[in-house]
Chains A and B, each alone.
Chain A
Amino acid sequence: MTSEREGARAKAIETPVQASNGFAIDARDLTRRFGTFVAVDHITFDVKSGEVFGFLGANGAGKTTAIKMLVGLLSPSGGIAHVAGFDVRTQRDQIRRNIGYMSQRFSLYADLTVRENIRLYGGIYGLTPEQIAERTKAMLDTLGLSSNADDLVGRLPLGWKQKLAFSVALLHEPRIVFLDEPTGGVDPITRRQFWELIYAAAARGTTAFVTTHYMDEAEYCDRISIMVDGRIAALGSPTELKEKFGADSVDDVFVRLARSATKGAAA
């Protein structure tokens, strides 16, 4: 897998991505308050184009709030952030056209067929019928779902659904894809396959911003950040963090940081 990733990196560099300052995402002191509660407290980080960025944190640490601000579902109370070079406060429309989003809940329609789901999202993102047909075929070939194109999505096994949902989130070739706990409830083999899809997307230059609860998955990321109590407690490559905290695994680092949490239910 490593060699694949090196290849991916090389290709990513060939694809120029114009973000304001070369970053797919950059956040400076991004803050979100709900009344007196500070859900996200002055977080600062950036994500390079083509990077697979792991966004970790215990439940209640502020991950979801942070993602919502980045995708334009929530306004920041303070700080600034750019996604694909666009300001999250003022340029939401441009951001929406340049990002893909897969929520932690399954985002396809179970009562529509595979093909109808693809057509829906293709249509929403303004693809032409030709583009949709072409990309549908390519996607189904890659996923091995060609013979299931007219099956109802609800009848597919969970693992397939997740892979399909991810591919659909990439249908309009966004510059950045946000994946909010994409592999929840999926078996280890499928998780592995899912990550291969993430690398393949990164290889085509798509930046992946992933939240996860699985620490083995964190090891797959180029860089990770760990949120504790609304702040970023650690940021760096998995190797760097393990060295810094003298830990054997990211899991170890995570547990140490999460234990220091004062608020929220550290899972």
Chain B
Amino acid sequence: MNPKALRAFVVKELHHILRDRQTLTILLMMPLVQVILFGYALRSDVRDIRMAVVDPTPDHATIELQSRFLSSNRFRIVATSQNPDIIEPLFRRSRADIALVFDPDFASHLRNAEPARLLVAIDASDPNTGTTYLNYTRAVISSYQGELSAQNRRVQIVTETRMRFNPTLESVNLFVPGLIALVLVLVSALMTAISLSREKERGTLEVLLVSPLRPQQIIVGKVLPYLGLAFANVLTALIAAWAVFHVPFRGSVSLLLAESVLYTLVSLALGVLIAARTSSQRAAMLAALLGTMLPNTLLSGMIFPIASMPSWLVPFTYVVPARWFIVIARGIMLKGVGLAILWRETLVLSGMALLLLAAAMRSFKPRME
């Protein structure tokens, strides 16, 4: 179709956005305000902690301690090796939450009442759960130590801890990726839903549908300007996080921006679908809030770790786009990993984007039947 028509339409959309100064200001300031608010606030029970064990000299004592972890019913051993090199890849791929590394002389030192050394490394990219893991680990170790002492044995276990990825346990590091997800869904889904339903409500959509403009062009025209706005929001959130809270950025900025665009497309398509199914601006706004904001905040792992959700709820998180985006953003920002590891989440988001965009296009065909 005629690209001029699309251009004229996009220009119109830009006018709408730029003219509504109040809304625009709110939208642009939102990431800044939210980064600061969330950065200073918010802080849960964890089961099924995946543990990697590095035991260079397996012995009765080291096995005994491992069995204590298992019998606590919170820990599951996912890998055992004599070589500490296994830890790093397991952490990067999120296959393990904590690693227990025995000193080669652990067992002999323990028997001789010398300090027996133990290293606990924790994936603390999510600081809340990271701290929880640490507390459980300490509890198991100290109860083991307590039992041995009760047998009148002089024992000394020295535990050393490493918080991986987030050494100072800054929750802001965790919240920035979640926040980007929240701001994007707000700008994209909510604003497109409102803007499209406004056209429906006012009757201008009818005029557009009678014009040579294709429904697809109307969708693209609506979506493009918001894509730009959402992009500006990601940049603001990242800059604010870096400048105010010194959130680390370990991975590729361009990959994160590309993933943000993908996630934005998913949210925009949701906005279009919501507008197609509702008949007023008010209904569209409420539907967008309930349908996108709430699940994206509550079921994405942004605030409440998915690990601590009841098992029946977990499958529901799979349909929440932010769940996947947050894994991606945390991976890139805090662990510095790339597509080699995040391809699965990226694929899920791409699938969602395609499916929802196709559904959005269909829903806006003038009702012919």
Contacts and interface: CB of A to CB of B under 8 A. Distances in A.
A52 to B, nearest CB: 20
B368 A74 contact: yes
B26 interface: no
Contact of B2 (A74, A105, A126): A126
A107 interface: yes
Interface stretch (B10-18, B36-44, B178-186): B10-18
Interface in A58-95: 71-75, 93
B209 interface: yes
A93 B210 contact: no
B2 A120 contact: no
Contacts of B5: 123-126
B11 A119 contact: yes
Contacts, number: 84
Q: Which of A96, A97, A102, A108 has the most CB of B within 10 A?
A: A96
Contacts of B7: 123
A214 interface: no
A124 B213 contact: yes
Contact of A111 (B11, B15, B213, B368): B15
A108 B12 CA distance: 11
A71 B210 contact: yes
A105 B213 CA distance: 19
A73 B206 contact: yes
A45 interface: no
B211 A111 contact: no
Interface residues of B, number: 27
Q: How large is the interface on A (under 10, 10 to 19, 20 to 34, 35 or more residues)?
A: 20 to 34
B150 interface: no
Contacts of A121: 8, 211
B212 interface: yes
Interface in B353-368: 366-368
Interface string B206-229: 111111110000000000000000
B213 A120 contact: no
A261 interface: no
A107 B209 CA distance: 12
Contacts of A111: 15-16, 19-20
Nearest to A96: B212
B210 A73 contact: yes
A120 B12 contact: yes
Nearest to A102: B207
Interface string B1-35: 01011011101100110011000000000000000
A99 B210 CA distance: 8
B202 interface: yes
A116 B367 CA distance: 29
A106 B198 CA distance: 13
A75 B369 contact: yes
Contact of A123 (B4, B203, B206): B4
B204 interface: yes
13 contacts: A71-B210, A73-B366, A75-B368, A97-B212, A101-B206, A101-B210, A103-B206, A105-B203, A111-B19, A120-B11, A121-B8, A124-B211, A125-B212
Given A107-B203, A120-B8, 4 more contacts: A96-B212, A97-B212, A105-B204, A126-B5
| CB-based closest 5 A-B pairs | A123-B8, A105-B203, A107-B207, A101-B210, A120-B12
Interface of A: 71-75, 93, 96-97, 99, 101-109, 111-112, 116, 119-126, 152
